[in-house]
Structure 1
Amino acid sequence: MSPVLSTTIDDAVVPRFPHGVRFREDKARGRFILVGPERIFNADDVATEILKRCDGRKSFGEILFELTEVFTAEASVIRPDVESFLGDLRDKGMVEL
């Protein structure tokens, strides 16, 4: 069994997409996608809600607060999942933290 890696993101960090990565709506397929050099990720509904807020202006704390309202959940409950999701995308070069 491999160890579970945790990603802790400070509330002041401002997630953004690096040069060459775009988050956009694929109207033909009716979904959002994250497009990077030689990569495309289809975003499900939860990922879309997170990625729509990674605009390079909002801090992680602000994004987390907005997500608590969208999903009607406590920050302590959703924070680990949001941190893990963004940490995974950071490791793939699709988000800067």
Structure 2
Amino acid sequence: MAELPSMAPQERPRLAGHFRLQWEEAQKAWVLLYPEGMVKLNGSAGEIMRRIDGRKTVGEIVEELEHAFATEGLAQDVHDFLVIAQQQGWVRT
């Protein structure tokens, strides 16, 4: 049986090499650009993706988001998104 993907709090995600994250004014959203097209991110996904730099750990990203939005308990949501992003090939660890 294949192991389910995971993203541990100490891992340092980075954008996969052929993707570029940028704010797209025409879309009023963060987008991932790649040679074959574009992925428009929703607000939450954009906030997570713009913090991925290969230096911050998943835990640090969660802390930064919780501080920025004055909330707690985002760890599971961030983890779940990062697993999907990893499955899509958008991020690597």
Please indicate the TM-score interval, normalised by the length of the shorter structure: 0.7 to 0.9
Distance across 2 between alignment mates of 1:95 and 1:13: 12
Query: How high is the sequence identity, in percent, across the aligned residues?
Result: 31
- Are residues 1:82 and 2:86 paired? no
Is the contact between residue 7 and residue 83 of structure 1 (CA under 8 Å) also seen in structure 2? no
Deviations 1:48-90 (A, max 9, x none): 111110011211111110011122222xx21111111110010
Pair 30,22 (structure 1): closer, same or farther in 2 beyond 3 Å: same
Q: TM-score, normalised by structure 2?
A: 0.83
Distance across 2 between alignment mates of 1:25 and 1:84: 23
Deviations 1:10-48 (A, max 9, x none): 222111011111111112332210123434221122111
Structure 1, unaligned stretches of length 5 or more?
A: 1-5
Q: TM-score, normalised by structure 1?
A: 0.80
Structure 2, unaligned stretches of length 5 or more?
A: none
Which residue identity lines up with residue 49 of structure 2 in the other structure? L
Which residue identity lines up with residue 88 of structure 1 in the other structure? I
Distance across 1 between alignment mates of 2:76 and 2:6: 8
**Runs of 4+ residues over 3 Å off in structure 1:** none
